[in-house]
Amino acid sequence: MKVRTAVIGTGCLGQHHARILKHHPNSRLEFVVDTDEKRAQKIAKTNKTNYFTDFNALLGKIDAAVVSVPTPCHYKIAKSLLKRSIHCLVEKPFTLNLEEAEELIEIARVKNLILQVGHVERFNPAVTAAVPFINNPKFIEVNRLGPYSFRTNPNHVGVVLDLMIHDLDILFSIIKDKVVSFEAHGAKVFSDKEDIAKVRLKYLNGCVADISASRISVEKYRRMRIFQSDSYISVDYAKKSLKIYKKKNNEEKITSPFDIEIRKPKLNSNEPLFYELDNFLTSIINGVKPNVTGEQGKDAVELALNILKNITF
């Protein structure tokens, strides 16, 4: 079965959604959409498909769409598509408020549609390979730093909703408990929103997570380190690499380097966006929940908004 697909928004990320959907065996890319006609025409030509400048022209012509437009437009476009029985993958952050997220989730539930949120790091091979080794972490440190980017209007969202939200989502998936308190600090440097932020989350089970996000760093640096009673897990998002340092025995203390086993699991080689779109298409075909549901997207937004409400500048 081939799902008739479209990509709405052909910018920095949308163009890659189109590229992958064009070649995925379960997809038939019917259209790309962009309000910039020259851009839409260019991406359509590259992928040998058709284009529109108004997403409303898609109605009745597709089964599923990727919504990869600026965040303030997510709700309006996704709502229109869902009401017309079109499955949606909505890029992160899901919405700008909880009311919009809840409404989209309810429409998808009533119409029995797939509503997936584009937290692509969940599909990073280094993350998926690390999950089986994670067991009751005690402390987690995450750094997601990068240079200033003009791929989106920096005043639409700050670094918490733009970058940190990836890690908030991943933490929800690996720490099976609720956040009981947090501290948040940030600074506005190049925009009217926070461009750098540091958050410490404390969980009911005692786990602590320190998260740093910056869009004003010189180089891109994206890593997560997980510390637990018997091991240390190092995930490099950017390089898609994973190392696990583990005690060879159950002794409380180690006495030499030979007491430590270093594992480097073999990782899948495809790009995370492929696995994300593959999960979307498979969920549609099999009628099962995607790995990142609308509810999970809403949870990440809710925590991010609470952080922004209480951040200290």
Position 152 scores a pLDDT of 54
Q: Give the 3-state DSSP-derived string for 71-114, with helices as H, strands as E and coil as C.
A: HHHHHHHHHHHHHCCCEEEEECCCCCCHHHHHHHHHHHHHHCCC
Q: Is residue 143 domain-resident? A: yes
**Whether the Cβ atoms of residue 94 and residue 117 lie closer than 8 Å to each other:** yes
Q: Are residues 143 and 231 in the same domain?
A: yes
Q: Which of 81-95, 109-123, 257-271 has the lowest mean pLDDT?
A: 257-271
Q: Is residue 110 domain-resident? A: yes
Supply the CATH number for residue 53's domain: 3.40.50.720
Give the pairing of strands 64-67 and 3-8.
parallel
Q: Summarize the confidence of residues 242-260 as an average pLDDT.
A: 79
Where are any strands of DSSP class E within 9-161?
27-33, 50-52, 64-67, 87-91, 115-118, 139-145
Where are any strands of DSSP class E within the chain?
3-8, 27-33, 50-52, 64-67, 87-91, 115-118, 139-145, 179-187, 196-203, 208-214, 221-228, 231-236, 241-247, 260-263
Q: Summarize the confidence of residues 2-6 as an average pLDDT.
A: 98
Position 150 scores a pLDDT of 63
Q: Is residue 298 domain-resident? A: no
**Whether the Cβ atoms of residue 35 and residue 53 lie closer than 8 Å to each other:** yes
Position 230 scores a pLDDT of 85
Q: Summarize the confidence of residues 291-313 as an average pLDDT.
A: 97
- What is the Cα–Cα distance from 286 to 93, expressed in whole angstroms? 26
Dihedral (CA of 33, 39, 43, 49) sign: positive
- 57 in helix, strand or coil? helix
Q: Are residues 139 and 230 in the same domain?
A: yes
| Residue whose C-alpha is closest to residue 24's, from 82, 80, 89, 108 | 89
Q: Is residue 297 domain-resident? A: no
Q: Are residues 92 and 147 in the same domain?
A: no
Q: How confident is the model at residue 247 (pLDDT cuts 50, 70, 90)?
A: confident
Between 250 and 28, where is the model more confident? 28
Supply the CATH number for residue 148's domain: 3.30.360.10
Structure tokens at 309: 């409400």
Q: Is residue 66 domain-resident? A: yes
Q: Is residue 80 domain-resident? A: yes
Q: Is residue 35 domain-resident? A: yes
Between 49 and 260, where is the model more confident? 49
Q: Are residues 218 and 237 in the same domain?
A: yes
Q: Is residue 281 domain-resident? A: yes
Position 1 scores a pLDDT of 85
Q: Summarize the confidence of residues 66-94 as an average pLDDT.
A: 98
Query: Which structural domain, as residue segments, surrounds residue 159?
Result: 122-270+303-310
Q: Are residues 138 and 262 in the same domain?
A: yes
Q: Are residues 111 and 16 in the same domain?
A: yes
Q: How confident is the model at residue 248 (pLDDT cuts 50, 70, 90)?
A: confident
Position 155 scores a pLDDT of 61
Q: Summarize the confidence of residues 220-248 as an average pLDDT.
A: 94
Does the pLDDT of residue 47 top 70, yes or no? yes
Kindly write down the DSSP assignment for every residue of 173-189, as one continuous string: HH--S-EEEEEEEEE-S
Percentage of residues of the chain with pLDDT beyond 70: 96
Q: Are residues 109 and 13 in the same domain?
A: yes
pLDDT digits (tens, 9 = 90+) for 140-176: 999 999 988 765 555 678 999 999 999 999 999 999 8
Q: Are residues 111 and 144 in the same domain?
A: no
Query: Can you state the angle between helices 37-46 and 14-23, rounded to 10 degrees?
Result: 30
Phi, psi angles (nearest 5°) of residue 33: -135, 135
Give the pairing of strands 196-203 and 115-118.
unpaired
Q: Are residues 79 and 97 in the same domain?
A: yes
Looking at the structure of the chain, the number of domains it has is: 2
Q: Compute the chain's Rg from CA coordinates.
A: 20
Does the pLDDT of residue 246 top 80, yes or no? yes
Does the pLDDT of residue 302 top 60, yes or no? yes
Q: Are residues 80 and 216 in the same domain?
A: no
Q: Are residues 281 and 208 in the same domain?
A: no
Question: How much is the mean pLDDT over the chain?
Answer: 95
Q: Are residues 130 and 263 in the same domain?
A: yes
Angle 246-250-252 from CA coordinates, rounded to 5°: 90
Position 117 scores a pLDDT of 98
Position 91 scores a pLDDT of 98
